Structure 1
Amino acid sequence: MRPKAFDPDDIIDAAMKVFWQRGYSATSIQDLEEGTELGRSSIYNAFGSKHELYERSLRRYQELKAEKIAVLSGPGPVRERIRRLLMDVVDEELSEEKGLGCMTASAALELASHDPSIAAIVAQNLNDLESALYEALSRARETGEIAADRDIRALSRFILNTVQGMRVLSKGYLGHDRRQLLQDVVDVAIKVL
């Protein structure tokens, strides 16, 4: 009997959802079989290993987040664009999908300190956001929207840290009014600009 054909991109998307929800260590091959509807041998034949599938899933996550980051290069005042980016984080954290949070942050906390290949992907994901922030803030400084004496690199890193910090903060305050908590962080971050 000939094996059923599948689209590798669809499998990566399905695996990404499993890893995103459970993390790398807590995801078993059985979980991946159920999430992708592929057998164990098909997973190994197509992707080599659980680790390779995780790497490809993390890269796919980066591609999806690039669409959200694109708001920074759009029209309008930079503060409004950064506020939209931060409010997207708030909305994601409070969504009905149980606020899966940021797969990049999860990978950084779980694996990056002892897995060089994951550390490289995490660094690339974070660098992409920092670079987009830097470009947006640099243009804003050139047009006078941001004061000329502001350290754009430091501001970019501050907003990057704010994004990741909001994700962690949201997880730690499940019994509180998380919307207000995160909104307060957004408001202060925008005032810093």
Structure 2
Amino acid sequence: MRPKEFDPDDVVDAAMQVFWQRGYTATSIQDLVEGTELGRSSIYNAFGSKHELYKHTLRRYQELKASQIAVLSGPGSVKERVRLLLMDVVEEELGKEKGLGCMTANAALELASHDSEIAAIVAQNFKELESALYEAFSRAQENGEIASDKNARALSRFILNTIQGLRVLSKGYIGHNRRQLLLDVVDVAIQAL
């Protein structure tokens, strides 16, 4: 057990790992006790409920993903930057932590249809990525990299969908050609720009 003093951010990070691995429904308070090394009463006193702690973890997940999104405003062509973003997703899915997917997407699939608070957080997380993509595509249209007759908003939603689709395909496709399957999706998505 931890002493009474603890860093709430550390607890949220530890709980995020538990929820991310198990999902909301399958995570028990005992799982959170073990994952955070806090007692039940400390968890309830600090966060109120499992649900409140989960909301904190979804917000924290988005903060951690901000650096991934930041690549969109970096140097290079927009197509190169979008490819970097998509390849980061591919590497996450095929890496040592494979199978966890996107915590936001997991929350969308598990809870958003019947939990309005979670749905609002999920929508905000998706909107932040969509907005960053839209800004990148709008700038690319201004400098002539992307044709001005393409709908920048639709392209941003398409790439958002592609990112989530890569995660779902990676989870659902079992076989030795998983990498190539994901790379094919990345290539077609870049061609669509």
Identity of aligned residues (%): 80
The superposition leaves residues 63-98 of structure 1 with CA deviations (integer Å, 9 ceiling, x where unpaired) of: 001110000011110000000000000000001113
The equivalent of 1:10 in structure 2 is: 10
The equivalent of 2:129 in structure 1 is: 129
User: Residue 60 of structure 2: SS of its match in structure 1?
Assistant: helix
**Deviation >3 Å, runs of 4+:** none
Please tell me the residue identity of whatever aligns with 1:154.
Answer: A
The equivalent of 2:72 in structure 1 is: 72
The equivalent of 1:40 in structure 2 is: 40
The equivalent of 1:162 in structure 2 is: 162
- Residues 52-91 of structure 1 mapped to structure 2, 5 A cutoff: 52-91=52-91
Please tell me the residue identity of whatever aligns with 1:52.
Answer: E
User: Residue 4 of structure 1: SS of its match in structure 2?
Assistant: coil
Q: CA deviation at 1:176?
A: 3.7
Q: Distance in 2 between matches of 1:130 and 1:4?
A: 41
Please tell me the residue identity of whatever aligns with 2:93.
Answer: E
Q: Distance in 2 between matches of 1:100 and 1:39?
A: 26
The equivalent of 1:186 in structure 2 is: 186
User: Residue 169 of structure 2: SS of its match in structure 1?
Assistant: helix
The superposition leaves residues 104-123 of structure 1 with CA deviations (integer Å, 9 ceiling, x where unpaired) of: 00000000000000000000
The equivalent of 2:19 in structure 1 is: 19
Q: Distance in 1 between matches of 2:113 and 2:153?
A: 24
Q: CA deviation at 1:175?
A: 2.5
Q: CA deviation at 1:180?
A: 0.5
Q: CA deviation at 1:53?
A: 0.2
The equivalent of 2:99 in structure 1 is: 99
Q: Distance in 1 between matches of 2:148 and 2:113?
A: 37
Q: Distance in 1 between matches of 2:40 and 2:91?
A: 35
Q: Distance in 2 between matches of 1:57 and 1:189?
A: 30
Unaligned runs of 5+ in 1: none
Q: Distance in 2 between matches of 1:152 and 1:97?
A: 33
> TM-score scaled to structure 2, two decimals?
0.97
Please tell me the residue identity of whatever aligns with 1:47.
Answer: F
- Residues 107-126 of structure 1 mapped to structure 2, 5 A cutoff: 107-126=107-126
Unaligned runs of 5+ in 2: none
Please tell me the residue identity of whatever aligns with 1:57.
Answer: T
Please tell me the residue identity of whatever aligns with 1:137.
Answer: F
Q: Report whether the alignment pairs 1:49 with 2:49.
A: yes
Q: Report whether the alignment pairs 1:153 with 2:148.
A: no
Q: Distance in 2 between matches of 1:149 and 1:94?
A: 36
Matched pairs, number: 192
Q: Distance in 2 between matches of 1:4 and 1:119?
A: 33
Q: Distance in 2 between matches of 1:148 and 1:175?
A: 40
